[in-house]
Amino acid sequence: MAKMKAAMAAVLVMEKEGITQAFGVPGAAINPLYAALRERQSITHILARHVEAASHMAEGYTRARAGNIGVCIGTSGPAGTDMITGLYSAIADSIPILCITGQAPRARLYKEDFQAVDIESIAKPVTKMSLTVREPAQVPRAFQQAFHLMRSGRPGPVLIDLPFDVQMAEIEFDIDTYEPLPVYKPTATRKQIDKALDMLLQSDKPLIVAGGGVLNADAADLLVEFAELTGVPVIPTLMGWGAIPDDHPLMAGMVGLQTSHRYGNATMLASDFVLGIGNRWANRHTGSIDVYTQGRRFVHVDIEPTQIGRVFMPDFGIVSDARAALELFVQAARERAAAGQWKDYRGWAERCAERKRLMHRKTHYTETPIKPMRVYEEMNAVFPRDTVYVSTIGLSQIAGAQFLHVYGPRQWINCGQAGPLGWTLPAALGVVAADPTRTVVGLSGDYDFQFLIEELAVGAQFRLPMVQVLVNNSYLGLIRQSQRGFDMDFCVQLAFDNQNVDDPQLRGYGVDHSKVVEGMGCKALRVTDPDAIRPALAEAHRLAQQLRVPVVVECILERVTNIAMGTEINAINEFEAVDCRHPEGREGLVAAGLLE
């Protein structure tokens, strides 16, 4: 046993749990923990410019690699409340992050002390555990429990609130004998797997829907192996995108009201059975349940027991970690195939592949101002196959999901359920911090970019190279498109006549992002000609790697472009031209049975 301050015990436990990186903003109430971090020099710290951004950096860091847990640190009052958005985002997407806040001394709790707030109560709805540690001797075990909870079952965030005097108190603690608690994950039984496969084999047009739980479980390799063994096409959700490469013959496209492919929706509507693994049937994926479920049976595999039946009742449910379930699915399918007990789904898979080959949206626009679709076409052409794309919400993200190509797990990092504006830039910086050797590309509209634009200075200070693609239409584009239903265009315009901009065309776009970017210590390129997009992206990629800072490529878009979306998966309004590659157009697709 050794005598030490409780704050030091917290740092030592984090070391034993594998933490090497933290993000945060120091403050008076959390300085004892920072003093321990400084003494140990074992955990690298990145200073955010906004505490909400620190929580999103922690999210990006976790999402970048299996096994990572991002840590964000701040004081309890406004810093703690600023981090609530990150905690909400993390719990919504099953992302483990540890939020540590400094609190007023215990004697001053509930006495309206300066920057003292009941952060424990505020954070409870958006965490797996929110705890103000009131006894110094409990600090190391509180951190041990936090890591156990974050990793067990459905992953998620934890907040630990440390009063100043608790951090400073001397305790007895033996770190040399410390071991992390065993992680609990439910596991499917072979009997359950066999029943699911029996149901699949009763179908003629089955699909696998792969959600974010497949990536959380680091099971993309098993998913692809299972699909190849069975010949069953895969529909990844937005959170599961990359679990199977976009160019894999059995990748059948994404389904949904917004972030979907034409061929993905058509294939879902043609199917008669769906095996969902690690997904939550999110409403942007399903649309109305009646349309989504009509004519097909469902098996749902999820790590969280209360997720089964939450949105709709499947025909069969299995509570299991995705990796554990897929290991059994692969084993059982291999045995059945070896015994000649598997069905030939090649005809169905070929029909799905034919839809994928023929049913596209147009991207090659040559107009000026630039149409957004052209930007994504050029991104696909410039960035390497292993690029990591980071995005959050808005027409930029929706179009990105429709037009970009993703070829591996954790190469599309997206805030799926919460979608807070401002998330993209700090989350991308967290991804870079996890692996500075990767090509990381943030994708934002102008409003998302402006929300936490000050974090560019973090990228410059800490030498975090990335490319930020900024598609600027000077609008809250998604909300403007939504307002069509109310026959209005109200309070969504970001454009104004900027007196400091010389170019009359650009003056009307409002904020001069290039000046702001350069003032933050980064590099900026601006594009107004569609033919200049590709060389600008290539130059940005080169500069980011050479200078080791964020480089922003701002594409000046036409003000109004409506991106394909709808109210049901069988009623998507395409708005723009469709690149139908069947010689007889839509009628040919219908006649061929590829489109209903």
Tell me which residues are annotated as active site: 25, 51, 421, 476, 479
Six-digit token pair at 215? 């990536």
- The CA distance from 308 to 325, in Å, is 15
Beta strands in 380-506 (DSSP E): 388-391, 412-414, 440-445, 466-472
**Residue 276, SS3?**
strand
Q: Which residues make Cβ contacts (< 8 Å) with residue 414, sequence separation at least 6?
A: 238, 239, 241, 390, 391, 392, 397, 401
582-591 contacts: CB < 8 A, separation 24 or more?
A: 582/358, 589/355, 589/358, 589/359
Six-digit token pair at 319? 């509570």
- The CA distance from 478 to 467, in Å, is 23
Which DSSP symbol is given to 319? E
**Of 80, 31, 13, the residue nearest 52 (C-alpha):** 80
Beta pairing partners, 471: 445, 555
Give the sheet arrangement for strand 297-302, strand by strand: 234-236, 206-210, 273-277, 297-302, 316-319
Beta pairing partners, 274: 207, 298
- The CA distance from 22 to 70, in Å, is 7
Burial class (CB in 10 A: 0-12, 13-18, 19+), 4: middle
**Of 454, 386, 462, 465, the residue nearest 426 (C-alpha):** 454
Which DSSP symbol is given to 240? T
Would you say how long the chain is, in residues?
Answer: 596
Cβ contact 100:71 at 8 Å:
yes
- The CA distance from 307 to 317, in Å, is 10
Strands 565-566 and 572-573: antiparallel
**Of 304, 331, 333, 332, the residue nearest 318 (C-alpha):** 304
